[in-house]
Amino acid sequence: MTAVFRPDVHAVAVDDALIILDLMRDEYLCLPGAVADVDGGIQSTELIATLDEAGLVTTGPAPERRPLPQRPSETVIYQRPEHPPAIAMWLAALRAALAVRAIRKGAGVASYLALADGPAGDRTPARVAEAALAFWQMAPWLPIEGECLVRSALLMRFLKQRGLEADWVFGVRLWPFMAHCWVQLDDLCLNDDVERLTAYTPIYSR
């Protein structure tokens, strides 16, 4: 059988390079010139040997993966809210901040992803956008700071507590290599500027 990536390993082609995300090890790898080798499955015996030695592949049918969304073209962050956040939203935002703060320093991405676990929520665009806009207003006042991973974990946890659902997307770019993440629902970004996202190719969606 053709070698395939483990279920917790994700890959995407960017230009002529293959970028790999290993969620369990919290690592990104870049293999320049490897795209042709994995088009339609990993065929190159040399590449298979390298990936197998790194513990990234297995044999058997390819695991079912969630489709990657397109980059969003709109964002909520510049919208004007109709009214200030309600007390219930402030309390949910504070609980989300405390949950993120409870993650130990130096923990990997899997610990943050776990904050979004739970039953599927409501994906009604108007409800999700309203909650995300309220959270964007509240975020500067919450007792926590962090980069994109922390900010997205906060929003995902907040939405989950409100019974709502969105997609947590991880993207990568080259020259220089950088990784970034954001939250979106369909074509709408919920916590970032879409102009910033144009440089990133989605590699994983939660």
Q: Which residue has the higher pLDDT, 101 or 1?
A: 101
Q: Which residue has the higher pLDDT, 9 or 41?
A: 9
Q: What is the structure's pLDDT at 182?
A: 99
| Stated pTM of the model | 0.92
CB 181, CB 171: distance < 8 Å: yes
Q: Where are the domains of the chain?
A: 3-59, 74-205
In sequence order, what are the residues at sequence separation of 6 or more whose Cβ sits closer than 8 angstroms to the Cβ of residue 117? none
C-alpha dist (Å) from residue 37 to 2, 11, 27, 65, 175: 12, 13, 21, 20, 21
Q: How would residue 37 be classed by pLDDT, with cut points 50, 70 and 90? A: low
